[in-house]
Amino acid sequence: MIKRNPRAHQQNSQEKIAKECYFCQNGINDIDYKDGQFLRRWLSSYSKIVPRRRSGVCTKHQRKLAQAIKRARYMSLIPYCPR
Ligand SMILES: [Zn+2]
């Protein structure tokens, strides 16, 4: 018997499909690494950076976002791992 992948179904129902990247929509070009609360929006519950396919952020901004998150981690504004 072939089992259906349960994750595929879950992802479809959970994901919100954003048409355009958040940063493009709001005209944000430089992502501020000092704003920890703001950057937490793009972290998963395991404090990992949410991939582009889930967050809907475009390539250009995802790169800047990842850099900002890494800087913020180094400055201990956001955690490397939860607890
Ligand atoms: Zn963008």
The answer to whether residue 11 sits within a structural domain is no
User: Looking at residue 6, what is its pLDDT?
Assistant: 56
CATH code, domain carrying 44: 4.10.640.10
> b/e string for 50-76 if b means 16 or more Cβ within 10 A?
bebeebbbbeebbebbeebbebbbeee
Is pLDDT of 5 > 70?
no
The answer to whether residue 7 sits within a structural domain is no
Q: Which domain holds residue 37?
A: 19-74
The predicted model scores a pTM of 0.75
pLDDT digits (tens, 9 = 90+) for 12-48: 555 555 578 999 999 999 999 999 999 999 999 999 9
The answer to whether residue 9 sits within a structural domain is no
CA of 60 to the centre of ligand 1 (A): 6
Task: Please name which of 23, 17, 26, 25 lies closest in space to residue 68, comparing C-alpha atoms.
Answer: 23
CA of 11 to the centre of ligand 1 (A): 22
Question: What is the count of structural domains for the chain?
Answer: 1
Ligand 1 (ion): residues with CB under 5 Å are: 21, 23-24, 58, 61
CA of 8 to the centre of ligand 1 (A): 26
